[in-house]
Amino acid sequence: MTFLQIGLFLVLVILSGLRIAQEYQRAIVFRLGRFTGTRGPGLYWIIPIIERQRTIDIRTKTVDLEQQETITKDSVTIKVNAVLWFRVTDPEKAIIKVADFNSAVYQFSVTALRNIIGQHLLDEVLKEREKINNTLQRIVDSATEPWGIKIEMVEMKDVEIPLAMQRAMAREAEAIREKRARIIKAEAELEASIKLTQGAKQMEDSPFSLELRRMQMLSEIGIDNNTTTIILMPSEFTNAARSFVELTERQNKGKE
């Protein structure tokens, strides 16, 4: 073997060890089965035959958690699905600590979702989604942290309720609205009665205000041209008129 052949062989060996990792990739390098370090991004070199690598994507990944049928704390069977976002923060742990981190994250998230739904009432699941999402995120994140995984966000998408329960909730909502309407009406009647009582007391203290109110009612009634109005004169007016007539008659007799 000539020096040229040996040199060409060495060049080929060197070139065969060259690797390129993208900006969003990291390479976990093993030398004779032992971890030696993380390479990338960019161009790097590994020893052919002796060293081997595992490339891992460190971008945020989206995982759809399939619909789960579970029972709430108040024994209502519902179906829930969710979406989970996570990324690899420590490529070494993600490869060495767990065999398949994608499957591990998915399975643990599904289990945690079922468990947390079982700890809440149906009303809480429907009204406090954000709180449940945050709790689920903390639970999954604490479990996956030793694997070099960061759970960025968890969101429940749909909550499917049985048809019979939907009807019951609709009846409950209708009853609540009717109750609210009755309370508002009762409060309005109470306020009106208080105002009427105050008005009656004021009229009792000032008879003149009662006559003014009566005249106002007559003017309101008289707006309609087709309305026949019967006016009841107050006794004070009739007595005053009678006294005036009698006084006038006496004065006339005195002059005669």
Q: State the architecture of 61-165 in CATH terms.
A: 2-Layer Sandwich (3.30)
Distances (CA, A) of 193 to 15, 34, 196, 198, 252: 97, 89, 5, 9, 53
Q: Let me know if 88 is exposed, middle or buried by CB neighbors in 10 A (0-12, 13-18, 19+).
A: buried
Summary mean pLDDT of the chain: 82
For the chain, what are the domain ranges? 3-57, 61-165
pLDDT in tens, 163-195: 776 677 677 777 787 888 888 888 888 888 887
Burial 5-44 (b: 16+ CB within 10 A, else e): eeeeeeeeeeeeeebebeeebbbbbbeeeeeeebbbeeeb
pLDDT at 193: 81
Residue 231: pLDDT above 60?
no
Look up residue 32 and give its DSSP letter: T
User: Lowest-confidence range among 54-58, 207-211, 248-252?
Assistant: 207-211
Contacts of 112 (CB under 8 A, 6+ apart): 136, 139, 140, 143
pLDDT at 10: 81
pLDDT at 180: 85
Q: What is the pTM of this model?
A: 0.65
pLDDT at 84: 94
The CA R_g of the chain, rounded to the nearest whole Å, is 45
pLDDT band at 210 (very low <50, low <70, confident <90, very high): low
